[in-house]
Structure 1
């Protein structure tokens, strides 16, 4: 596939996306489809494919990455597609973390409840198929003013339509952020949503290409802390996943061979 696109008149960044450079951050369009008919190939090390998303203004922009492509190849473990912390900011979202005793706040909830001893963790919402509803992760709770802590943001949304082959030796992630002062005060944000559709199995001809799912995560911030953010949701369509396929997928995905 690579030899074909490199020897053709196809244009990098338009017809396909090929990144060979190391330590490269590439931002795609937010909340609209990024179409690469001849594939996305992340071949360098420490590559991050993410979004143009303004998180600095008062009304923070949320990150929703939509990609449709023939092939998605991520060569190195250090490279990733990442929409972490691009969901609801602290104290916001349907599953936002609440303030607990002594200023310590709960983690945001989404696919699972946010954590906190005083039951201040955020609630579960949404549905597992991600077809009727697809949500951003919720933010963790802020501490009181005298503690000066803030909760982590929830994860964003990633939607991938892959027509032929997924080879992921890196990671695809939409994780929640950790609160300031870790587990002491600000709650962790919850993971976001990842929806993957493999269309090759539904085509009329038999597709013999091997799929490699690798590491796919929607986990909460403040990992292993008392106010850890809840997990997000992952759904994968177009193939029946084996036990080996899901070893590095967290949370366990909703899976169906048809959408």
Structure 2
């Protein structure tokens, strides 16, 4: 695929996204679909793909990518919308008094009445949510990542939307949302998928933030895939519930 796009008239940054340099941060459009019909290839080390998100204007980060291929080559590289959800003391699951952690997919840390509550639904198909902020000098929640993969995912780095750690014993922010849809698994075209590390965990604090939510559609996850996904994706939870 790489040899094809490099020898064609396709434009980097328009038809595909190829990053070969190290220590790069690439900001994509916020809350709009970023379409790369011929793939995204993060080949440099310590490369971060994130959003152009103005937190000073109280923007929340929602990354939407549709691409044929997504390749993250190095363990130090990532797609990251951590800390781009609701700020401290804000959101449907915001931490309450005495430094409670923000909630979302699970309750935030803290005693009853202090911790942030759960909200939303597990499939992420009816409505997808941002993570909530922790109480006091708390951490912000995680943002939202939506990925549509038309051919193949090779993730040797990480895809993450974690909550932020708190300041001065505040409550941690809750993890955000990651929704991944594979559209490639026809009977005639079953490419090997490397799902890799995917996380939506809460930030630390006097009381930690709760987990976010992850849902993955279109492929069967192996036991090795599941070990690197935190929290467990919705389809796995549903499958376990049916067996019980």
Q: Structure 1 length as normaliser, TM-score? A: 0.89
SS at match of 1:160: strand
Match for residue 220 of structure 1? 202
1:187-217 CA-partner distances (Å, limit 9, x unpaired): 000000000000001x4x5223110011000
Whole-angstrom CA distance in 2 between matches of 1:214 and 1:11: 28
Question: Whose helix fraction is larger, Structure 1's or Structure 2's?
Answer: 2
Aligned residues: 236
Whole-angstrom CA distance in 1 between matches of 2:33 and 2:145: 11
Match for residue 159 of structure 1? 146
Match for residue 235 of structure 1? 215
Match for residue 224 of structure 2? 244
Note if contact 2:161-2:178 (Cα within 8 Å) is conserved in structure 1: yes
Which portions of structure 1, spanning 4 or more consecutive aligned residues, are displaced by more than 2 angstroms?
none
Whole-angstrom CA distance in 2 between matches of 1:47 and 1:130: 28
RMSD of equivalent CA atoms: 1.1
Note if contact 2:19-2:44 (Cα within 8 Å) is conserved in structure 1: yes
Whole-angstrom CA distance in 2 between matches of 1:221 and 1:108: 9
Superposition deviation, residue 240 in structure 1: 1.5
Match for residue 36 of structure 1? 36
Superposition deviation, residue 21 in structure 1: 0.6
Superposition deviation, residue 226 in structure 1: 4.7
Superposition deviation, residue 99 in structure 1: 1.4
Superposition deviation, residue 247 in structure 1: 1.0
Match for residue 200 of structure 1? 184
Match for residue 115 of structure 1? 109
Superposition deviation, residue 118 in structure 1: 5.5
Q: Does 1:77 align with 2:75?
A: yes
Superposition deviation, residue 244 in structure 1: 1.3
Whole-angstrom CA distance in 1 between matches of 2:56 and 2:23: 23
Whole-angstrom CA distance in 2 between matches of 1:195 and 1:25: 22
Q: Does 1:66 align with 2:64?
A: yes
Match for residue 188 of structure 1? 172
Structure 1 gap segments, 5+ residues each:
143-149
Superposition deviation, residue 119 in structure 1: 4.4
SS at match of 2:225: coil
Superposition deviation, residue 242 in structure 1: 1.5
Match for residue 92 of structure 1? 90
Whole-angstrom CA distance in 1 between matches of 2:18 and 2:120: 35
Structure 2 gap segments, 5+ residues each:
237-244
Match for residue 241 of structure 2? none
Note if contact 2:175-2:212 (Cα within 8 Å) is conserved in structure 1: yes
Superposition deviation, residue 117 in structure 1: 3.7
Note if contact 1:190-1:232 (Cα within 8 Å) is conserved in structure 2: yes
Superposition deviation, residue 243 in structure 1: 1.1
Superposition deviation, residue 151 in structure 1: 0.5
Deviates more, 1:64-73 or 1:113-122: 113-122
Note if contact 2:172-2:206 (Cα within 8 Å) is conserved in structure 1: no
Whole-angstrom CA distance in 2 between matches of 1:214 and 1:242: 11
